[in-house]
Structure formats: C-alpha cells, structure tokens
Amino acid sequence: MTEDALTAEEAAKAAVAIERGRLLFTQECEFVMGVRTEADLPKAELPEVAFAGRSNVGKSSFLNALTNRNSLARTSNTPGRTREVNFFRLGGELMLVDLPGYGYAKAGKEEIERWNKLIEDYLRGRANLRRVCLLIDARRGIGAPDRKVMELLDKAAVVYQVVLTKVDKEKAGALAKIEQGVATEIVRHGAAYPEILATSAAKRLGLEAARASIAALADEE
C-alpha cells in the first residue's frame, strides 16, 4: 500500500472516530450521584472515564464543553469547589467521573486528607475504570501535585492521559515547548498514555479529539 493510500486510510479512520465521539456526546448526560466516602461509591456497571486535576485547572469548564452543556459540572473562580466524586451517565454507554480537585493549599489539612483518601479509594480496584484524564494547565505544565497523582496512578496500574487545558492562553511556540516537555516526562511513567490532548474550553479547541478518544474507550470490550 502506498504512503498516500495509508494517509487516506488514516484520515478515514480519524473521521469515523470523530463522528463516533460526536454522536456519543450528543446523547443525554445526567447527574447520577455525588459521594464523599468509599462506602457510598456506586456499583460499577458501565465503563468509566475519570477526570482529575489541580484545583482551578478548568476541569468543570472542560466537562461542560465536552458534553455541550453549560452547567453539567459547576464552575467557580474559587478553587476546591468540587468536594465529592461526581458521577454522570452518558447515554447509557459510559460513566463520566469528576474527581475532587487536588493541590488547593487553602483547604484545611483534614479536608485535604479526606479528598486525597476519597480519590485513592475510588482509583483502587475500580475494574471498569478505562482511563483517567489528567488535566494540566498549559500555562503551568506538570507540577509537584500532578506528579504525586501520576505516581499514584502508576502504582495502581490505572492508565491516564494528559489533557492540557487553557491552551489558548499560550502562543504557539511556547505551547509546543510545553507539549514537548510533558511528552518527555510522561515516557518515564508506565501507566501514562502517550497521546497528549491540547484543549481550550473557552475557544472549544481539541474537543473533537477528546470526544473521539473517550468514545473509543466506551467501545472497548
């Protein structure tokens, strides 16, 4: 097969994946429940994709943009507002799981410990968890709190994918350097998925690729 034919085939596959993602995310997405303790975690029935990130990384805005909703996940300028593990059912095919933001220094020590334990309890032994989308602010890159979560995911053998947020805030040259730095770092982590997603909820950048990537997880056996 010629290089041109391979390119055409790859383009066709990409188009199919993007359309699958679009169709999945046009389905109803409904809030199921929010939990604060391991005992309250729902029975695992659907494939799950979880979303983790530092407080104020833009996780709620990303989820709202991804699902074409304005208020699926509550947004706020105050870090640390998401204090539960929130479950959203997407079209009866997938569960989207919004994890509490981490790294919020102004939260009390006991509150931080409770959040961390809740995240660890969820991640440990969740057999239907297909992937964690680890959101990283493109302006900051990977920081110490992110590395702690990456180490936790490595130890738990939970596959995670880095999703850069707010990429519209960086110029193209600076963004390319940030992406290269992230790519260089994640190769050292056994559970890290190699593809990096660059997104902006405000400018709606990278959402098609993100939806396609998540839809593929819903289709896994």
| d(C-alpha 70, C-alpha 82), whole Å | 16
pLDDT at 147: 93
For residue 217, pLDDT over 90 is answered with yes
Q: Which residues pair with 31 in a beta bridge?
A: 88
Phi, psi of 112 (to 5 degrees): -60, -45
Question: Are the C-beta atoms of residues 182 and 141 closer than 8 Å to each other?
Answer: yes
Question: Are the C-beta atoms of residues 129 and 48 closer than 8 Å to each other?
Answer: yes
Q: What is the pTM of this model?
A: 0.89
pLDDT tens string 58-71: 998 999 999 998 87
Mean pLDDT score, 200-214: 96
State the average pLDDT for the chain: 87
pLDDT at 146: 93
pLDDT at 79: 45
Instruction: Note the CATH number of domain 3-218.
Output: 3.40.50.300
Question: Are the C-beta atoms of residues 50 and 122 closer than 8 Å to each other?
Answer: yes
- ∠ CA 118-124-125, rounded to 5°: 135
pLDDT at 55: 84
- ∠ CA 103-139-67, rounded to 5°: 75
Ranking 80-84, 90-94, 206-210 by mean pLDDT, the lowest is 80-84
Q: Is 19 helix (H, G, I), strand (E, B) or coil?
A: helix
Mean pLDDT score, 45-55: 93
Neighbours of 101 (CB within 10 A): 24
| Strand order across the 160-165 sheet | 29-35, 85-90, 94-98, 48-53, 129-137, 160-165, 197-198
